[in-house]
Every structure is written in structure tokens, then in C-alpha cells.
């Protein structure tokens, strides 16, 4: 086996949303850049996404909705989004104002009220950014995974990678930006942090994000965040539904926060409405219901729409066409019986519905245990439905602890009292690891249980991380 040695100013690890953005920005700043991509194509999970680049309009909204993230980092993303949209337009990328049509045919305004939102076409976007990097003198090497970081003392000085031909590739660089997209593709790490029952999780993401950035950074002393068990995702139709990457969007249920979610014992296990975006419900389905739940609702909800994510009946029928288990009954008696046939304690389920209906009819859902704080509408208009769902993990939220410039903090030189829940303590200096940066999902201190957009973080922090790398080099 031969070892090829190259020198670059900046190496970017991962050619997904954050990595491609970082690569383009690096060429604009005059850096000699190499973007390594483990997969067979660039684009990462962004390539599979709905392409809605969104975050909250204001930092106050972000704090209210995502209270456990780092306030300064969140501010960086919220305030950096409009300039980043302008920057994309300057590259010739059309960032369309919603409403826009999704690949599933639905028309989308914004994923949640109060969002600042633009829309890209993932495939064209990926091609455009890759071409910009190459035209700017950089390179994007697919099927070339980083294996580890190279260090000189406490400083990161490059990466070790493997080429598409299986040869060793050593790249010496002033800076490395990790943009490997989290660890949801790694069964061992999922079992360690998220749930022992990984067989009851769909992977709703690219298959190559297996925590390589996290592992390599930890090996050189990087500080990690809390919230390692939390993830962004949705509940999808459960097996026997056939969920493949081209169907992630069409089999995502979205309407969980409006339904009643029960487990196989027929009991509610969480406040379904804690988040409009279904991600807290998906996490609780994994953690509290062993990865198997049923969304129960009536014909009123069936005929309704989820904000802008489309007609609920259409989502249900589409799921049924793909093999999802959908129980439908014209009376509660028949519903109870059919639930038993589906493996759910039907008597308990109907009792749960009675109790729920009584509470929400008088606006007292918050007195239920678990409470129902929002969308308090009774389930009482036949036919009744139950759709079997299983959580799909799109990305893990915990990860590397960075500063507002995307510099990865050093575990050995950061106070152990600094928790992500509390944000930065301004009075304590945290030292970064020289030469090491992160962007996108690899950053762990933006989201924690709650979520403020995935593509927006990757867009804003992809740019920021490279700008910091170039600035730090000059100083
Ligand atoms: C179905 C679906 C719908 C979505 N819809 C939206 C949406 O509308 N809005 C939104 O904000 N977010 C959405 N997301 C989430 C969004 O796609 C991610 O938040 C975003 O792509 C994260 O960007 P990233 O660069 O951090 O990771 P990714 O885009 O996933 O890129 C990570 C890249 O790193 C590569 N990599 C991993 N390990 C290595 C290694 N060792 N060496 C080299 N390369 C490596 C991977 O192959 C991958 O290409 C959606 C995701 C999915 C799957």
C-alpha cells in the first residue's frame, strides 16, 4: 500500500450541507481547500431533505423553543441566516420564498410558525456548490473517508484518510473543519447514547454519518456536550411499511402533535404537543415506548392539514399504500376490537381516549398525566383511526462543543462546570483546540431535545467555521 501526501490550507471533512458551504467559502477566501467525502456522492442528508432552510426569526423565539442550546451560538445562526441567504443568491443559487412544492406534491409555507425560511432544490444545490469549489481551485474527493486527525502536540495539523482505491492519504493542513453529520448511522453509538432498542429506529438520513467527526475529535481531546441521547427526527410508518431513502419524506407522519399517541398498552406516554415539529414525540417514542406507538385520531383530524405539511388523510393513505398498519373503525366498540387484533390493549386505549376527551373538552388537557398542553381537540367523530409508527432518526443533537466561530473546545482546557444547558459562562475562558473546527450536525451545543433547523445551522456555521480558520491562520 502506498501513502500519498498532500498539503492544503484547509481540509473539510464531509461534503454535505455544511461541508459544501465551507468549501465554497474557503475558495472565496483564497484558501487551498480539499473536501473529503466518505459516501458515493456529495450532498449528505441535505440531498435527501425537503430543502427548507429555516430557523427562528428572532433569538427570543429560538430561546423559547430551544432553551437548552447555547444562546450565543443560537444568536449567531438566527442573525446569520439572512446574510447567508444573500450569499447563496450571490452564488447563483435560487433561494425561493415559500410557499413551494415538495417532491411529495405538498405545498409548504414554513415548518413552524415564526420561522425565517427559504427553499433550495437539493440536487441542483449540491451540483452548484461542488462546481463552485472545483472552479475555485478546490477539490471534492468522494469515497475518501477521513480516518483520524493528525496532531502536533495539542494542534491539529491535518487528517489521515483512505482514497477510493484503498490507498492511504495524508493531508497536512493548517485547519480541519469537521462536517461529518452526526452519529445516527452508527449502531454502537446509538445503543450507547440513544436507545438499546435500535431495531425499532428507522435511519432517516444518509448512511455514512457514523460519528467519525465526533470520534476523531474526542481522540484529540475535544470537549463534547450534554444531550447525547437527544435527536432530531420524525415518526414514520412502522414496519411492515417499506421505508427506503426515496420515501423518507412521503412516509414521515408529521401530524403526531395533533393526534393522541399511545403505546402497546393503550396508554399515552408523553405530551404529544410539546413540539409542533414532532421531534420530541419521536424521541419519546424511542425512549418511553420502546420505539413503537400508534397515532390515534378521528375523521376531523383525518380531513385536516398539518400546518403546511399537507393533508393528513393523504399522508395516512400514502403510508397504507406502502404497507403501514392502519386501523380504521366506525365505532369505538369496533375500534377496541381491531386494536386488539393489531397487538394493542384495546380496552385501555378506549379508556385512555375517554379520559383524554373529557379533559380536552373542558380545556384541562394540562391536568392529564402526561399533560396535553396544546392542540386540545377531542377524538370523537367516527371513523376512528390508529396508525402504527416508529421513530426515524435524522440526526443526533449532542456532539462537539464549539464557540461562536465553530472552534472546537479543548476538554483539557475548558472548565468541567460548563454545561450546554447553561450556555456559555462569559466569565470563563474556554480554550479551543488549535486548527480544529466543526459545522452543522457535528456541533452539539445548538440543539438539545428541541431543534431550530438543520440546514440553517449547516449553512451559517459552515461559513463561520472556515472564516474563523482563515482568520486564525492570519493572526
Ligand atoms: C428526509 C430528510 C428531510 C430533511 N428536511 C430538512 C428540511 O427541510 N430542513 C432542514 O433544516 N433540515 C432537513 N433535514 C436535515 C438536514 O438534511 C441536515 O440537518 C443537514 O443535511 C445537516 O448538514 P451536515 O452538513 O451537518 O450533514 P450532512 O448534510 O448529512 O453531511 C454530512 C456528510 O459527511 C460525510 N461524512 C461522514 N463521515 C465522513 C468521513 N469520515 N469522511 C468524509 N466524509 C464523511 C457524509 O457522507 C455526509 O455526506 C432533512 C433530512 C432528511 C434526511
| 208 in contact with ligand 1, CB cutoff 6 A | yes
The phi-psi region of residue 350 (left if phi > 0; otherwise alpha if psi is between -120 and 50; otherwise beta) is alpha
- Averaged pLDDT score across all residues of the chain: 93
Residue 104 is predicted with a pLDDT of 56
Residue 420, pLDDT > 50, answer: no
What percentage of the chain reaches a pLDDT higher than 90? 86
DSSP H helical segments within 10-99, as ranges? Answer: 17-28, 59-65, 71-90
pLDDT band (50, 70, 90) for residue 314: very high
State yes or no: pLDDT of 192 exceeds 60: yes
Contact 210, 199 (CB under 8 A): no
Q: Which of 52, 180, 210, 438 to mutate to test the pocket of ligand 1 (most atoms within 8 A of CB)?
A: 180
Give 104-148 pLDDT, tens digit per residue: 566 666 677 778 899 999 999 999 999 999 999 999 999 999 999
CA dihedral for 148, 150, 151, 157, sign (positive or negative): negative
Assign 474 a pLDDT band (cuts: 50, 70, 90): low
What is the atom index within ligand 1 of the atom nearest the CA of 17?
25
Cell of 10: 484547509
Say yes or no: CB of residue 16 within 6 Å of ligand 1.
Answer: yes
146-173 pLDDT per residue, tens:
999 999 999 999 999 999 999 999 999 9
Distance from the alpha carbon of residue 208 to the mean position of ligand 1, in angstroms? 9
> Is the Cβ–Cβ distance between 385 and 328 less than 8 Å?
yes
What are the residues whose beta carbons fall under 8 Å from the beta carbon of 244, sequence distance 6 or more?
Answer: none
Q: Is the CB–ligand 1 distance for residue 55 below 6 Å?
A: no
3-228+397-474: CATH architecture: 3-Layer(bba) Sandwich (3.50)
pLDDT value of residue 112:
73
Q: Which three cell numbers stand for residue 340?
A: 386488539
Atom of ligand 1 nearest to the CA of 394: 53
User: In 84-99, which positions are buried (b, 16+ CB within 10 angstroms) versus exposed (e)?
Assistant: bbebbeeeebebeebe
Identify the band that residue 426 occupies on the pLDDT scale cut at 50, 70 and 90: very low
- The closest-lying atom of ligand 1 relative to the alpha carbon of residue 439 is 26
Q: State if residue 455 touches ligand 1 by the CB under 6 angstroms criterion.
A: yes
Q: Give the domain ranges of the chain.
A: 3-228+397-474, 233-393
End-to-end CA gap in the chain = 39
Q: For residue 386, how many C-alpha atoms fall within 13 Å in the half-sphere facing its CB?
A: 30
Task: Kindly report the backbone phi and psi dihedral angles of residue 103, in degrees, each rounded to the nearest multiple of 5, phi listed first.
Answer: -60, -25
Determine the Cα–Cα distance for residues 446 and 59; give it in Å rounded to an integer. 12
Residue pLDDT, tens place only, 355-402? 999 999 999 999 999 999 999 999 999 999 999 999 999 999 999 999
Residue 418 has pLDDT above 50, yes or no: no
SS3 165: coil
Alpha-carbon distance of 286 to 305, in angstroms, equals 25
Backbone angle region of 419, left / alpha / beta, with phi > 0 → left and psi within -120 to 50 → alpha: beta
Burial of 144 (C-beta count, 10 Å sphere; 0-12/13-18/19+): buried
Cα distance between residue 445 and residue 433, in whole Å: 16
Distance 355 CA to ligand 1 centre (A): 41
Query: Residue 99 has what pLDDT?
Result: 64
CA of 16 to the centre of ligand 1 (A): 5
**Residue of higher predicted confidence among 453 and 306:** 453
Spatial separation of the C-alpha atoms in residues 49 and 475, rounded to whole Å? 38
SS3 sequence, 337-397? Answer: HHHHHCCCCHHHHHHHHHHHHHHHHCCCHHHCCCCCCCCCCCCCCCCEEEEEEEEEEEEEC
Taking the C-alpha atoms of residue 55 and residue 347, their distance in angstroms, rounded to an integer, is 42
The answer to whether the CB of 78 is under 6 A from ligand 1 is: no
Closest alpha carbon to 23 in 472, 470, 475, 471:
470
Q: Does domain 233-393 have CATH number 3.90.700.10?
A: yes
Stretch 249-258: mean pLDDT, rounded?
93
Amino acid at each position: 500500500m502506498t501513502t500519498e501526501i498532500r498539503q492544503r490550507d484547509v481540509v473539510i471533512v464531509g461534503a454535505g450541507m455544511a461541508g459544501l458551504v465551507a468549501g465554497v467559502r474557503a475558495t472565496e477566501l483564497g484558501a487551498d481547500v480539499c473536501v473529503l467525502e466518505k459516501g458515493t456522492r456529495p450532498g449528505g442528508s441535505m440531498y435527501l431533505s425537503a430543502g427548507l432552510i429555516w430557523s427562528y426569526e428572532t433569538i427570543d423565539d429560538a430561546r423559547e423553543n430551544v432553551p437548552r442550546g447555547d444562546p450565543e451560538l443560537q444568536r449567531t445562526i438566527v442573525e446569520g441566516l439572512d446574510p447567508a441567504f444573500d450569499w447563496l443568491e450571490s452564488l447563483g443559487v435560487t433561494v425561493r420564498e415559500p410557499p413551494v412544492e415538495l417532491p411529495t406534491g405538498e405545498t409548504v409555507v414554513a415548518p413552524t410558525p415564526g420561522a425565517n425560511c427559504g427553499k433550495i432544490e437539493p440536487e441542483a444545490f449540491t451540483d452548484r456548490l461542488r462546481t463552485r469549489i472545483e472552479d475555485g481551485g478546490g477539490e471534492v474527493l468522494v469515497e475518501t473517508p477521513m480516518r483520524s486527525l493528525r496532531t502536533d502536540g495539542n494542534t491539529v495539523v491535518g487528517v489521515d484518510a483512505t482514497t477510493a482505491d484503498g490507498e492511504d492519504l495524508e493531508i497536512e493542513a493548517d485547519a480541519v473543519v469537521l462536517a461529518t453529520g452526526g452519529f445516527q448511522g452508527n449502531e454502537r453509538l446509538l445503543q450507547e447514547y440513544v436507545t438499546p432498542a435500535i431495531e425499532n429506529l428507522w435511519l432517516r438520513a444518509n448512511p455514512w454519518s457514523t460519528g467519525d467527526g465526533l470520534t476523531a475529535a474526542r481522540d484529540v481531546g475535544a470537549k463534547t456536550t450534554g444531550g447525547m441521547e437527544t435527536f432530531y427526527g420524525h415518526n414514520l410508518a412502522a414496519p411492515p411499511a417499506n421505508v427506503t431513502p426515496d420515501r423518507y419524506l412521503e412516509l414521515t407522519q408529521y401530524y403526531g402533535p395533533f393526534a393522541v399517541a399511545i403505546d402497546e398498552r393503550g396508554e399515552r406516554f408523553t405530551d404529544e404537543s410539546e413540539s409542533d415539529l414532532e421531534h420530541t414525540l419521536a424521541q419519546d417514542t424511542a425512549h418511553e415506548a420502546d420505539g413503537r406507538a400508534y397515532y390515534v385520531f378521528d375523521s376531523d383530524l383525518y380531513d385536516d392539514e398539518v400546518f403546511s405539511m399537507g393533508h393528513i388523510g393523504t399522508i395516512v393513505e400514502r403510508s397504507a399504500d406502502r404497507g403501514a398498519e392502519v386501523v380504521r373503525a366506525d365505532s369505538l366498540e369496533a375500534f377496541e376490537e381491531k386494536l386488539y387484533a393489531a397487538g394493542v390493549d384495546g380496552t385501555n386505549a378506549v379508556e385512555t381516549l375517554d379520559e383524554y376527551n373529557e379533559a380536552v373538552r373542558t380545556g384541562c388537557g394540562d391536568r392529564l398525566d402526561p399533560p396535553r398542553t396544546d392542540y386540545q381537540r377531542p377524538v370523537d367523530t367516527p371513523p376512528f383511526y390508529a396508525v402504527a409508527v416508529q421513530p426515524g432518526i435524522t440526526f443526533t443533537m449532542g456532539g462537539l462543543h464549539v464557540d461562536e466561530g465553530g472552534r472546537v473546545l479543548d476538554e483539557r482546557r475548558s472548565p468541567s462546570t460548563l454545561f450546554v444547558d447553561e450556555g456559555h459562562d462569559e466569565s470563563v475562558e474556554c480554550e479551543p483546540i488549535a486548527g480544529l473546527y466543526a459545522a452543522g450536525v457535528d456541533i452539539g451545543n445548538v440543539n438539545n431535545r428541541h431543534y431550530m433547523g438543520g440546514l440553517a445551522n449547516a449553512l451559517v456555521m459552515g461559513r463561520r467555521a472556515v472564516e474563523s480558520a482563515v482568520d486564525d491562520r492570519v493572526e
